[in-house]
């Protein structure tokens, strides 16, 4: 059913395309670049208004680019087979196997059990477990998996006669928000943790031929996750919510009960855990260890090796493999199409000359403090993604931010990484991220609860991300923010 914004978007997208293609002829913009600009306007409007499913909108370049002469069909469709699409596929196949054999639940429950079982520590345990799992499997799947465990814990508190009145409702709100926020925060840690990270890697390689490795992203993203997670936990348990009851009656027993219900770790869990651990180790050590032995090894090749091995290993009873195609086919194909659409836009911007033209229009930004520009960009993207897809937003913005950076004489990493990390940190609304929607569906939260707590988390994340990008990113990635030389 079409709502009014969708109806407006449905009409205004093609209308903007026609107006720009036939009536917008600015000086210095060649016909190919104009065609890409017109197509991008149509795609952006449909992405923002979600006039049709955003993954379907991502297919528009295959039609519009060749027909308007902006980019050839072969070049456009090649973007949908970008190597980072296959990195995500390999990683997701391993994630599906982890979920299939319940390894993720065992890891999560053991982390919660290890941290402790008073009210504040249980929230920390849930947040650490959620963040860790979200580093490797989709944040949506992580939130869905953690939700029933959390509800069981909240119910245990509610049913205990020693519980202070309404304390379980306060605890329930804090726990649900902790799960949602940590699912997003954990995804910042790794290249495969959240889709915008991979879009950044793909656009960077497409536009100036530099590879952001798994290890390189990890040494920047992981510290951000640690800092944000700790601040988020302190904020939720000391400021956003006040707990009169510090001890949790029956909490340890409930966790133990859930662990016991899983039984002894199975043969299949051990094998999946081994493949997962070796794949993660290979990703992290590739640039400083593996490449000295196998020079042509790549993060995508590692992901494919891990994914294919999962299909090869039989279960203990030899009746099936650790994963079969019927299970693997549940891959999030929509996200893969969005990757492709984002890569096609980047290729169109570069090859047609549109990127250079946009850059030449950005002279007004010359002279603005770079730190102020980073704060403005992170703030704008942060609040924009409260109502738009973070993946679609990064796919739209990154090809524009590259020429903008070059024009104002700053390194593109500063602006492109700013937009990427900001897109993942939307904490206010149920529609902002899938984890927010998942916990909202639990019934413990209302929209005013999410807005009241989330707006401060947005502000905190804007400050933390701005400091990390401006001060630490150039040191960790070895580049000068004011000089565009691709780092070694």
Q: Read off φ and ψ for residue 321, nearest 5 degrees.
A: -95, 170
**Alpha carbons 82 and 471: distance in angstroms, whole number:** 31
Tell me the domain boundaries of the chain. 83-328
pLDDT of residue 2: 62
**Alpha carbons 294 and 95: distance in angstroms, whole number:** 26
Q: Which strand (E) or helix (H) includes residue 55?
A: helix 54-57
Give whole-number Cα distances, 290 to 106, 294, 297, 308, in Å.
30, 6, 7, 19
Residue 393's contacts (CB-CB under 8 Å, 6 or more residues apart) are 47, 196, 381, 384, 385, 419, 423
Residue 488's contacts (CB-CB under 8 Å, 6 or more residues apart) are 478
pLDDT of residue 116: 67
DSSP conformation class of 314: B
pLDDT of residue 160: 56
Beta bridge partners of 197: none
Report whether 176 contacts 444 (CB < 8 A).
Answer: yes
Measured between its terminal Cα atoms, the distance across the chain in Å is 51
pLDDT of residue 162: 58
**Helices (H) and strands (E) in the chain — how many of each?**
25, 0
Structural Rg of the chain based on CA atoms: 23
Split the chain (488 residues) into runs of 10 and give each run's mean pLDDT: 79 95 87 94 89 91 96 94 89 89 86 79 91 89 86 72 66 92 95 91 90 94 97 94 72 77 91 93 86 89 94 92 92 87 89 84 74 93 85 88 87 95 90 84 85 94 97 93 70
Beta bridge partners of 321: 314
Residue 216's contacts (CB-CB under 8 Å, 6 or more residues apart) are 287, 477
**Alpha carbons 228 and 60: distance in angstroms, whole number:** 37
Report whether 476 contacts 220 (CB < 8 A).
Answer: yes
**Alpha carbons 352 and 69: distance in angstroms, whole number:** 9
Q: Report helix, strand or coil for 288.
A: helix
Of 103, 204, 93, 82, the C-alpha closest to 138 is: 93
Give whole-number Cα distances, 321 to 86, 88, 471, in Å.
21, 21, 48
**Alpha carbons 311 and 375: distance in angstroms, whole number:** 45
pLDDT of residue 217: 96
Q: For tokens 């959240």, what's the residue?
A: 194
Q: Count CB neighbours of 393 within 10 A.
A: 24
**Alpha carbons 183 and 198: distance in angstroms, whole number:** 17
Q: For tokens 């508190």, what's the residue?
A: 157
Give whole-number Cα distances, 478 to 220, 372, 417, in Å.
12, 22, 14
**Alpha carbons 306 and 206: distance in angstroms, whole number:** 25
Residue 376's contacts (CB-CB under 8 Å, 6 or more residues apart) are none
**Alpha carbons 299 and 273: distance in angstroms, whole number:** 19
Q: Read off φ and ψ for residue 314, nearest 5 degrees.
A: -80, 160
Query: What is the b/e burial string over 28-51, where b = at least 16 CB atoms within 10 angstroms of the residue's CB?
Result: ebeebbbbbbbbbbbbbbbbbbbb
Q: State pTM to two decimals.
A: 0.86
DSSP secondary structure string, 371-401?
Answer: HHHHHHHHHHHHHHTTTS-HHHHHHHHHHHH
pLDDT of residue 225: 97
Of 224, 282, 337, 294, the C-alpha closest to 94 is: 282
């Amino acid at each position: 059913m079409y709502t009014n914004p969708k109806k407006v978007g449905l009409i205004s997208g093609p209308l903007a395309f026609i107006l720009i293609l036939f009536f917008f002829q600015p000086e210095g913009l060649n016909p190919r670049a104009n065609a890409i600009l017109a197509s991008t306007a149509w795609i952006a409007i449909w992405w923002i208004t979600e006039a049709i499913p955003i993954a379907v909108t991502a297919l528009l370049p295959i039609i519009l680019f060749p027909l308007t002469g902006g980019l050839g069909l072969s070049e456009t469709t090649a973007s949908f087979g970008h190597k980072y699409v296959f990195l995500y596929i390999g990683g997701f196949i391993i994630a599906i196997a982890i979920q299939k054999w319940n390894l993720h639940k065992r890891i999560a429950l053991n982390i919660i059990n290890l941290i402790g079982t008073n009210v504040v520590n249980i929230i920390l345990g849930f947040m650490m477990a959620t963040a860790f799992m979200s580093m490797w499997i989709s944040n949506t799947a992580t939130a869905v998996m953690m939700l029933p465990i959390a509800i069981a814990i909240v119910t245990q508190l509610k049913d205990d006669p020693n519980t202070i009145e309404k304390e379980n409702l306060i605890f329930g709100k804090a726990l649900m928000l902790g799960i949602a926020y940590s699912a997003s925060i954990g995804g910042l840690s790794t290249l495969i943790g959240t889709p915008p990270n991979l879009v950044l890697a793909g656009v960077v390689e497409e536009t100036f031929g530099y590879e952001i490795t798994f290890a390189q992203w990890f040494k920047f993203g992981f510290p951000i996750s640690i800092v944000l997670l700790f601040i988020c936990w302190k904020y939720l348990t000391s400021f956003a919510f006040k707990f009169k009851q510090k001890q949790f009656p029956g909490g340890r027993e409930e966790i133990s009960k859930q662990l016991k219900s899983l039984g002894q770790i199975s043969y299949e869990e051990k094998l999946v855990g081994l493949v997962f651990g070796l794949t993660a180790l290979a990703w992290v050590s590739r640039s400083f260890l593996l490449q000295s032995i196998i020079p042509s090894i790549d993060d995508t090749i590692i992901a494919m090796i891990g994914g294919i091995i999962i299909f090869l290993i039989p279960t203990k009873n030899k009746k099936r493999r650790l994963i079969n195609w019927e299970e693997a086919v549940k891959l999030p194909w929509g996200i893969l199409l969005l990757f492709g659409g984002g890569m096609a836009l980047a290729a169109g911007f570069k090859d047609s000359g549109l990127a250079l033209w946009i850059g030449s229009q950005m002279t007004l930004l010359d002279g603005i403090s770079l730190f102020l520009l980073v704060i403005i960009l992170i703030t704008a993207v942060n609040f924009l993604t409260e109502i738009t897809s973070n993946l679609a937003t990064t796919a739209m913005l990154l090809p524009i931010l590259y020429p903008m950076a070059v024009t104002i004489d700053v390194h593109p990493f500063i602006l492109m990484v700013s937009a990427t990390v900001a897109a993942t940190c939307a904490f206010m609304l149920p529609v902002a991220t899938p984890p927010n929607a998942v916990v909202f569906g639990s019934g413990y939260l209302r929209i005013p609860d999410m807005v009241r707590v989330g707006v401060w988390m947005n502000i905190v994340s804007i400050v933390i991300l701005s400091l990390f990008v401006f001060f630490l990113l150039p040191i960790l990635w070895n580049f000068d923010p004011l000089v565009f030389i691709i780092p070694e």
